[in-house]
Amino acid sequence: MNASSVAAPAAEARQTPSRPTIGVLALQGDVREHIAALEKCGAEPVLVRRASELAAVDGLVLPGGESTAISKLLEAFELLEPLRARLRDGMPAFGSCAGMILLASEVLDTRPDAKHLSGIDMTVRRNAFGRQVDSFETDLDFAGLTDGPVRAVFIRAPWVERVGAEVEVLATVPSGPFAGRVVAVRQGKVLATSFHPEVTGDLRVHRMFVDLVLAA
């Protein structure tokens, strides 16, 4: 066996992406659905409830749920400052619905004691589309995704009212009374959607996030 035949497999191994460990913040909300989607996308999902668990992941999903409740639990579990620090250090993150609210730098129509993470330079309006009875679905053109529109499920969802200069708008509501409202954004390694891609079976948004984690 010559030297080149020995070196080739090693080089090939270095080029093969590892299975990233992606945490799902497991304090409240639709955690199981994100876990299942990440597994199907080839990631190694883990539950995150402690700072030590947060320190061990390559990226983090902040699920839908009740944003003010999650923010209080972040403080109670002593995760708020460690999570802010990891975001400042460049950890990839993805927030859906309540997760989008938590990632914002400014939140409108929320409680004065609610906390946010400033992971994306944006202003988000909480419950912007209305109450639970106003939930709806629509198809969205989503920048960076192929194979047709994304079916989006909005449940007491926020929308984005302002984005900073470094924030890319990925999707807006195409028609109806909410036409033009921003519902998906990205800033660097941080992604957020107003809607719940984890409930439809369409894995493209999760695959986009897994690719962000692998690239990081």
CATH number at residue 165: 3.40.50.880
- Residue 121 in any domain: the answer is yes
Cα 73 to Cα 85: distance, rounded to the nearest angstrom: 17
Q: How many CA atoms lie within 13 A of 92 on its CB side?
A: 19
| pTM of the model as a whole | 0.89
Q: pLDDT, tens digit, for every residue of 55-101?
A: 999 999 999 999 999 999 999 999 999 999 999 999 999 999 999 99
Residues with active-site annotation: 97, 196, 198
- Residue 5 in any domain: the answer is no
Looking at residue 65, the DSSP 8-state letter turns out to be: S
What percent of the chain stands above pLDDT 70? 91
Domains held by the chain: number: 1
Binding residues for L-glutamine: 65-67, 126, 155-156
pLDDT of residue 15: 39
pLDDT of residue 17: 54
Binding residues: 65-67, 126, 155-156
Q: pLDDT, tens digit, for every residue of 180-213?
A: 999 999 999 999 999 999 999 999 999 999 999 9
- Residue 8 in any domain: the answer is no
